[in-house]
Amino acid sequence: MPTYEYECKNCGYKFEKFQKMTEDPLKICPQCKNQSLRRLVGIGGGIIYKGPGFYTTEYRSEEYKRKQKEEESLISKTSSSNIPSSSSDKTK
């Protein structure tokens, strides 16, 4: 999980926040309650990884495992009559 650094343009309050890649950036300063937060751009565009290629490796292995599973289930389901039309519909 990446860490984002935020700074308030209004009161200068700085803090770090663990967020998912998919989460929206914060806007409201927890200190002065103004919508004056900005995400600091540092390594990797404001994202601090735990190591080089951390996310990429994680993502790849997840994706790889998922594909392997899909293939396995496809193979095991080929013998039975019912094959799901699309397995890429489960992204949500």
32: contact with Zn ion by CB under 5 A: yes
Locate 58 and state its tokens: 């994680």
30-38, 42-50, 56-64, 81-89 -> range binding Zn ion (CB under 5 A): 30-38
31: contact with Zn ion by CB under 5 A: yes
Q: Give the 3-state secondary structure percentages of the chain, helix then strand then coil, rounded to 5.
A: 25, 15, 55
Nearest to 89 by CA among 64, 65, 70, 62: 70
29: contact with Zn ion by CB under 5 A: yes
User: For binding to Zn ion (CB under 5 A), which residues are involved?
Assistant: 8, 10-11, 13, 29, 31-32
